[in-house]
Amino acid sequence: MNRVRVLILFIFLCLLTGCSNDMNRKEIDEINFIHVMGIDYMSDEYILTAVYNTGQGADAESTDTGKEEIGQGRGATPFEAFQNLRLKNKKTVSIANTGYFLIGDRAAKKGIDYCIDFLSRDETVKMESLIFVTKGVQAEDFIRESLDNKQVIHEDLEAIEQKQGELVKRNDNTLVNILNELENNMTCVLIPYLISENNSFLLQGYAVFDKTTLVDYLDMDTSSGVNFIKNIIKAFPIYLDNNVGLSITYSKCNLKSACEGKVIKIKIDLDFETAVKEVNTDKNIFTREELNRLTGMQNEYIIEILKKAVNYSVKNKRDILQISRIIQNRHSKNWKEFEEKWNDTLPEIQYYYEVNSKITKSFILSN
């Protein structure tokens, strides 16, 4: 008799488990998992534009079924706009699987503090989600134009993320990293910006935020100079005037600092290696003399890239190189003298360059 009772109890539990699984699956089917979200500000209200896949079903990670559709919400704050989005959608919407947040130009100029605060307080959000700024346009327009061009937005953004991974050692535009950057109001926050061109997305450089407000856009060379100084460059092309092209295969940058009275000195110490990628000259460039000459030329090329980032910081009094952190950490006693007038101190910093390189590889196919 006891065995019969145990068997009945076992069957009952199995039925409960099966029902539970069915209910969970049904709940997931009723959720629109947002892949991409645009955040805009216009006419004194925030506008959230959500891109989700109508055919993803119970698989929140699915990218191969259904088609991308847009939902939109408006409100006085990002949170109110999100609640409006939820109310207007036939299904529950979730940012638990949102991999990309696009901040429109006006919202960025308004200030990203409300946007970042809203995202960081959602218990389901992925802290490794990537944030981009859409240069000169609303995120909504950026998204709608892409859909009109038959682009699959989240796939194009995945391609951008992959390209980032090929060029730099890490992505600093994650939600968690930007949260950390905002804690230090002495340094500028840098977020990559996108433009849309020929039915694709292009990374063009960094958007510069003074505290939380967008103040400028850096060009690609200046942004690359920042990446060298941050020691995150993985690959970088070098185009020399003598029809020789090279690619950086290794780089390491170290900033050395000194405080002498009221003078801050920063030495940028950069070592890198390159591979020859293109030779459009009849001259033999692989003699010792020519290799030495090319090495000197590539050193000068990279120094000019570094100077673009340094000169921007000096001219505009914006700490895009995070020098204040170096002084705070390494020269805490001296920092008190500079803290109150840090922006006025930036043009007075003396920079020095020590760049060493070598050409290590040249791949040639032969019979």
3-state SS of 277-329 is EEECCCCCCCCHHHHHHHHHHHHHHHHHHHHHHHHHHHHHCCCCCCHHHHHHH
- Looking at the chain, which runs of residues are DSSP E strands? 31-42, 45-53, 68-75, 92-94, 100-104, 130-134, 189-197, 200-210, 213-217, 236-240, 244-260, 263-279, 350-362
Give 60's pLDDT tier (boundaries 50, 70, 90): very low
Read off the pLDDT band of 256 (50, 70, 90).
very high
Please report the domains of the chain, with CATH numbers, ordered by start residue: 30-217 (no CATH), 221-367 (3.30.300.210)
pLDDT for 13 equals 52
**pTM listed for this prediction:** 0.87
Distance, in Å, from the CA atom of 12 to the CA atom of 29, rounded to the nearest integer, reads 26
The yes-or-no verdict on residue 18 having pLDDT over 70 is no
The reported pLDDT for the residue numbered 55 is 58
* Arithmetic mean of pLDDT, 41-64: 74
pLDDT at position 150 over 80 = yes
Residue 244 has pLDDT above 70, yes or no: yes
- CA distances in angstroms from 108 to 63, 105, 147, 162, 212, listed in the order given: 29, 5, 23, 24, 8
Rounded average pLDDT over 253-263: 94
pLDDT above 80 for 62: no
Question: Which residues contact residue 77 at a Cβ distance below 8 angstroms, ignoring those fewer than 6 apart?
Answer: 46, 114, 118
Query: Lowest-confidence range among 48-57, 123-132, 304-313?
Result: 48-57
Task: For residues 166 and 168, give the distance between their C-alpha atoms in angstroms, rounded to a whole number.
Answer: 6
Cβ 125 vs Cβ 62: under 8 Å: no
Q: Which of 77-81, 258-262, 322-326 has the lowest mean pLDDT?
A: 258-262
Three-class SS of residue 128?
coil
Average pLDDT of span 195-222 = 93
Indicate if the pLDDT at residue 38 is higher than 70.
yes
pLDDT at 25 over 50: no
User: What's the pLDDT at 4?
Assistant: 52
Give the per-residue pLDDT at 8. Answer: 56
Which single residue is written with the structure tokens 């990218």? Answer: 63
Average pLDDT value for residue range 244-269: 95
Using alpha carbons, list the distances in angstroms from residue 178 to 46, 101, 227: 20, 12, 16
Q: What is the dihedral of CA 94, 99, 103, 104, to 10 degrees?
A: -90
Mean pLDDT over all residues of the chain? 88
pLDDT score, position 57: 44
In the structure, what pLDDT confidence band is assigned to residue 71 with cuts at 50, 70 and 90? very high
Is the pLDDT at 278 greater than 50? The verdict is: yes
- Kindly state the average pLDDT of the residues 113-120: 95
pLDDT value, residue 58: 39
Lowest mean pLDDT among 127-131, 347-351, 357-361: 357-361
Mean pLDDT of 37-43: 97
Residue 90: its pLDDT value, please?
83
pLDDT score for 367: 40
Question: Is residue 267 exposed (0-12), middle (13-18) or buried (19+ Cβ within 10 Å)?
Answer: middle
